[in-house]
Chain A
């Protein structure tokens, strides 16, 4: 119900201040972003810390910027802001699809993209959407080095990422394809907007109205956390986009290659069915959105 004793609270205004506070705490310090996941862990005493460093006023970590062919989203950008920046997201609509339906609007007022990625909860929306979008993750290592890690390397397993102790996730960025491209994310849960039993994100870059130049398909709801459906991607990359049967085959492939496991509510078979269904829907939506950019 209540966190264990916390000795220090810092609310830095810059990344440098944040790092200094972390270093000064001498271990057992944690960064807090939106707190929607961290507070659950602290209140249930799964986690505790001596010093809490609140990033909510580090303005350089906030914002959605689409310029010079790159889209950058600061780690402290709230879900709500991502949703409101749909127009600026360009082809990376899946991120807004995800952000729009996380939890509830109170959660969306506080929760952040960076927080979700750092936490990498086994069933969460933002990591899988970012995985499909092929994001690059900017990390400030505890020793001060800046590093860029591909999202594929960043997400390593449930609750595990490329972040080490004291590392700070600065944001994500994606190269905006020159040609028509878009993405979509959809999920299924027991109640409306619940944590995803299954969530599927699809990103496509078109070579033409009928063919993909690139495709990424990512699935969440698997025991190992969000994962790419590589075989389905390969099918989609070589598919004739006018052929409904091709989409169906991709979706079937995604369901076949993803190993699902039952949870206390839903069986493994139905999860496979959900993968197939959501994949089909998201391919359709992503392709439709991408095609709308063709003149």
Chain B
């Protein structure tokens, strides 16, 4: 019923014994106490607030078990800023008022970060389509889209290379 797992989260290896049925989101929030990832729906996996990256790919952590992340790399919002320097997305969300209550923001950004690696020069339509899996109730999305667009521009200008999953 429990299993030993070793998960690398934001670059740090965590070895824990967890129930098999423990959701990955609960592993992150309750076992590792990284509460930046949120949970906002029940079993349906629609809201996207729990989005993290598994081996660099955006996934809904409420729709996975912690044991499935054994031996894998997980990146959460807490792992996005490097050495205290905010990621262009984080800067852009602040600049363009891409958040109000902030509850959807972590998941939104972790999804957007991968999206921009896959599509560094997206159109507005492509951005909106990419964010279907992250529901926001406060902003009406316009500030979010502006932020993602601005971050894409900054990252293109800086020639930021695609990051490998970490």
Which single member of B57, B62, B132 contacts A104 (CB below 8 Å)? B132
Taking a contact as CB atoms under 8 Å apart, the answer to whether B19 and A44 are in contact is: no
Write out the residue numbers on chain B whose beta carbons fall within 8 Å of the beta carbon of A43.
23, 42-43, 62
Using a Cβ–Cβ cut-off of 8 Å, how many residues does chain B contribute to the interface with A? 32
Write out the residue numbers on chain B whose beta carbons fall within 8 Å of the beta carbon of A8.
20
Question: Given A7-B1, A43-B42, A104-B133, list of 10 further CB < 8 A pairs?
Answer: A1-B43, A3-B21, A5-B20, A40-B63, A54-B68, A105-B58, A105-B132, A106-B51, A109-B57, A110-B60
**Chain A residues engaging chain B, CB cutoff 8 angstroms:** 1-9, 11, 35-36, 39-40, 43-44, 52, 54, 56, 103-107, 109-110, 192-193
Write out the residue numbers on chain A whose beta carbons fall within 8 Å of the beta carbon of B57.
109
16 A-B contacts, Cβ less than 8 Å apart? A2-B23, A3-B23, A5-B1, A5-B19, A5-B21, A6-B20, A9-B20, A40-B45, A52-B65, A56-B68, A103-B132, A105-B115, A105-B132, A109-B54, A110-B64, A192-B129
Given known pairs A7-B20, A35-B64, the reply for A110 and B44 (CB within 8 Å) is: no
Write out the residue numbers on chain B whose beta carbons fall within 8 Å of the beta carbon of A35.
63-64, 68
Bound CA–CA A146/B113 (angstroms):
42
Taking a contact as CB atoms under 8 Å apart, the answer to whether B23 and A110 are in contact is: no
Taking a contact as CB atoms under 8 Å apart, the answer to whether A109 and B43 are in contact is: no
Write out the residue numbers on chain A whose beta carbons fall within 8 Å of the beta carbon of B130.
105
The residue in chain B whose Cβ has the minimal distance to the Cβ of A78 is B57
Taking a contact as CB atoms under 8 Å apart, the answer to whether B65 and A9 are in contact is: yes
The residue in chain A whose Cβ has the minimal distance to the Cβ of B64 is A35
Given known pairs A36-B63, A40-B44, A43-B43, the reply for A4 and B132 (CB within 8 Å) is: no
Across the A-B interface, give the 5 residue pairs with the lowest CB-CB distance, nearest first: A104-B133, A43-B43, A6-B20, A44-B43, A104-B132
Bound CA–CA A109/B54 (angstroms):
10
Taking a contact as CB atoms under 8 Å apart, the answer to whether A1 and B42 are in contact is: yes
Bound CA–CA A44/B43 (angstroms):
6
Q: How far is the CB of A225 from chain B (nearest CB, A)?
A: 21
